[in-house]
Structure 1
Amino acid sequence: MTPEEPDPLRDCDLHGTVVAGVIAGKDLGVAPDAEIYSIRQTSSHYRTPAPDNGEADRAGAGTLASLAAAIEDAVSAGAQVINVSVVSCVPPEAATRVDRSALDAALQRAEGAGVVVVAASGNATAGGCEKDDVVFPAEAETVLAVGALATPHDLAEYSITAPLSAEGSVPLALEPGGGWATGKEDTVFQGTSFAAPLVSGTIALLAQRYPGDSPAQLRQRIIDSAEPGHGVVDPLTAVTYRPASESREERAVAVRPQAAPPAKGWPIVRLLLGAVAILALVATLSAQTLRPPRGSKQSLPAAAAGSPTAPAPVPPHPVL
């Protein structure tokens, strides 16, 4: 392969940067804390000399062999999730003749290393795939294939059907050179290439939440949480979903004993003591009113002075 650009790390197609932004773009990506490891597997700026007539192949230099090598490289680098936003479409009658041994070996190694592989299902457009094509690597058993949605619940007309689907358009994308877009022209980014990274970012979140899960378990989590029909993936739903069959984590709960109620005898005692004090005060006041002042001479009835049991004289009734 002969690069036309001097810097092999430069994204001259823009495609890869947009995909990376969907996964881990700051304030834009599904998993903004994820670390991106970029591998150039194919590019329109690379060419392969054709051995028959010597003319260069301008369709790009990617093959199933180079895709397998890229997957092997990602596994060796310690990736937990591999996003493949490229496809190789083959008519069904020719699929059996495709040498896929290197790709199958790479996918098997990824599965054994605990890596989840997510791939675009392919676009059925002019010069692209056909609806009934066999699409590599999306058709592999251990790969999560993702189609594109045109609306929140409707598959895009161009999308090849897949078990899962996600939003296929990118309203705001990253640019390789950085900075803000200038000018009045808008570039539309849509396709299964941009639906797959949304699922890849979701898998990254699930891998962080469930670090002990195998690739098969992580795939099952996202399949179970997807909306029935087109398998629509929502990151928040996927991360918070808990299947009914999954046992809940047991947690120790300490119940603090209830405080003993305050004693009820003290207010009654206080009330009785208060009543006794009032009675004593009344008795004292009564005694003081019956006590004659010092130095005064008062005549008491004989019965009161001599016989405590004799009744006091009753005054006559007033005349009305």
Structure 2
Amino acid sequence: MVGVAVAATMLGWAGQAAAVPLEPGVINCGEHGPDVRFVVLFEPWTPAVDATAETSSKCGTTVAYHPQIGVGVVLSSDRRFPNLMGRDRVFSAKAAVGKSKRLSEPPAVSDRSRTDRTAEQSDMAMIRADQAHAVTLGSDSVVVGVLDSGIDATHPELSAAVDPARSAGCLTGKADPAPAAWRPTTSAHGTHVAGVIAAADDGHGVTGVAPGVRLASVKVVDDAGFVFPEAVVCGLMWAAANQFAVANHSYFVDPWLQTCDRDGERVVAESVRRAVDYATRRGVLSVAAASNENIDLARPRGQAVGANGERRTLDASCKVLPAGLRGVVAVSAVGPDQLKTGYSAYGLGVIDVTAPGGAGDECVLSTVPGGYGRLCGTSMAAPHVTGVVALLAGRHPGASPQSLTRRLTTQAVAVACPGDYDLDDAGGQDAYCSGYAPYNSFYGHGLVDALAAVTS
């Protein structure tokens, strides 16, 4: 995953809005501060002219609008804007995180040469991707969207796979196809994920799960490391418009690790849910990382720190987005020993499949700008699954997301709950696995199988 939970500061919209009285009749808009970007909910299929007119009359400027799902992105410098539109319809994730940052050190570039390093890719052997390549490398008619921090399209392992015409930056909430908008800037994460999916099978460096497919770089992770809902909505709508077969989501949507379907959080939950549902209906299967907090996604409970430092009580409506949404393939991570890693989230009825995410000193080797590097996380597990889905899509052209999911889960190799999950030898259990061998909270339907995907 890109993100980890952080305590952040609010810019003061909630407290200041009440201090500015609402005038009857025509609203005199004022610049009370810097422009703030909001996600705004409308009824689906509200005409663009009506949505734009409403936001303009209430002191907002429309940046992007998706009438198919009734979600807009609006800028406003007027502190009254949330009250004018209705606080049950608007939310600013950017304002919620304030000036917080979530940047981590990039992976060390372990090798700038192009020597063959496939012998170091035990993760590919675990899911039998190396054997699958003897059958097929995947189809170049399959386009995989990497919704992430951008892909280095100059990397020799990825240059042939990246399709610039289908790539876009979504950080403002409006798709920008200019190469500068979708290339990586501060983060190697997206390039690493892309290599797991489709690094070239050329006898040099590493090889991805489906090296014959095409990649689209869709940038949704900003330079501070955040993934805001307007960027995710933009990315999913772009995926639908450009007929991606599968979209990889190795992140959670900010500003919370688990977003609840209540109060102001509902705007975030509803906007992303609408976008996922629309993309799915248009033939895009979403694969998402489960997150790295070793939490039970099926039983959200207790308290968590909110976006502005307050304590939030979790309930059954709280989900990691987009992994917790219906129709999304949620992926947990196993280490080299095929045991759920200590960081991976889990949950009966939430986790669909598992894949290698690396652990300890044995992280996943893949491409990074300038060479190769290692990263661990469910962020690395998800693209293994995305690669297998891409192989399936090539073998079964026109298959629906539901059909691809059924094939993926049916072909997965069942992994039973461990008899003991005491990772630190402290005498206790570090998590509890529920279910039975063919389907359980740690591994879902089991470990994905690339060879089965191309032979069954």
TM-score using structure 2 length: 0.44
- CA gap of 1:12–1:240, structure 2 versus 1, over 3 A, is same
Between the aligned partners of 2:364 and 2:257, the Cα distance in structure 1 is 33
Between the aligned partners of 2:287 and 2:270, the Cα distance in structure 1 is 19
Structure with more strand by fraction? 2
Deviation at 1:41, TM superposition (A): 0.5
Residues 34-62 of structure 1: CA deviation (Å, up to 9, x unaligned): 1111111013x24xxxxxxxxxxxxx442
**Is residue 2:376 matched to residue 1:190?**
yes
Between the aligned partners of 1:200 and 1:92, the Cα distance in structure 2 is 23
Residue in 2 aligned with 1:21? 195
Alignment RMSD (CA, Å)? 2.7
- CA gap of 1:225–1:81, structure 2 versus 1, over 3 A, is same
**Is residue 2:397 matched to residue 1:208?**
no
- CA gap of 1:138–1:200, structure 2 versus 1, over 3 A, is same
Match for residue 69 of structure 1 among 234, 241, 261: 234
Residue in 2 aligned with 1:164? 353
Matched residue SS, 1:88: coil
**Is residue 2:323 matched to residue 1:138?**
yes
Between the aligned partners of 1:81 and 1:136, the Cα distance in structure 2 is 17
Between the aligned partners of 2:190 and 2:214, the Cα distance in structure 1 is 14
**Is residue 2:285 matched to residue 1:116?**
yes
Residue in 2 aligned with 1:96? 262
Between the aligned partners of 1:213 and 1:20, the Cα distance in structure 2 is 23
Matched residue SS, 1:79: coil
Residue in 1 aligned with 2:370? 177
* Aligned residue runs from structure 1 range 219-298, under 5 A: 219-229=405-415, 230=443, 231-241=446-456
**Is residue 2:274 matched to residue 1:105?**
yes
- CA gap of 1:155–1:64, structure 2 versus 1, over 3 A, is same
Letter in 2 for 1:37: A
Between the aligned partners of 1:93 and 1:63, the Cα distance in structure 2 is 12
Between the aligned partners of 2:258 and 2:391, the Cα distance in structure 1 is 35
CA contact (8 A) 1:146 1:195 kept: yes
Matched residue SS, 2:276: helix
Between the aligned partners of 1:203 and 1:82, the Cα distance in structure 2 is 10
CA contact (8 A) 2:184 2:190 kept: no
Between the aligned partners of 2:259 and 2:242, the Cα distance in structure 1 is 36
Residue in 1 aligned with 2:142? none
Between the aligned partners of 1:153 and 1:61, the Cα distance in structure 2 is 30
- CA gap of 1:91–1:166, structure 2 versus 1, over 3 A, is closer
Between the aligned partners of 2:214 and 2:259, the Cα distance in structure 1 is 40
Between the aligned partners of 1:146 and 1:70, the Cα distance in structure 2 is 20
Consecutive unaligned residues in structure 2, runs of 5 or more: 1-93, 100-170, 172-178, 202-206, 301-318, 416-442
**Is residue 2:209 matched to residue 1:30?**
yes
Between the aligned partners of 1:34 and 1:164, the Cα distance in structure 2 is 22
Consecutive unaligned residues in structure 1, runs of 5 or more: 47-59, 182-186, 242-320
Higher relative contact order (CA 8 A, sep 6+): 2
Between the aligned partners of 1:137 and 1:24, the Cα distance in structure 2 is 23
Between the aligned partners of 1:141 and 1:86, the Cα distance in structure 2 is 17
- CA gap of 1:202–1:158, structure 2 versus 1, over 3 A, is same
CA contact (8 A) 2:240 2:283 kept: no
Between the aligned partners of 1:119 and 1:64, the Cα distance in structure 2 is 15
- CA gap of 1:61–1:156, structure 2 versus 1, over 3 A, is closer
Matched residue SS, 2:368: coil
Between the aligned partners of 1:36 and 1:156, the Cα distance in structure 2 is 28
Between the aligned partners of 1:80 and 1:139, the Cα distance in structure 2 is 20
Deviation at 1:152, TM superposition (A): 4.6
Residue in 2 aligned with 1:300? none
**Is residue 2:407 matched to residue 1:199?**
no
CA contact (8 A) 2:245 2:283 kept: yes
CA contact (8 A) 2:227 2:253 kept: no
How many aligned residue pairs are there?
Answer: 215
Between the aligned partners of 1:93 and 1:111, the Cα distance in structure 2 is 21
Structure with more helix by fraction? 1
Percent pairwise identity: 33
Letter in 1 for 2:403: Q
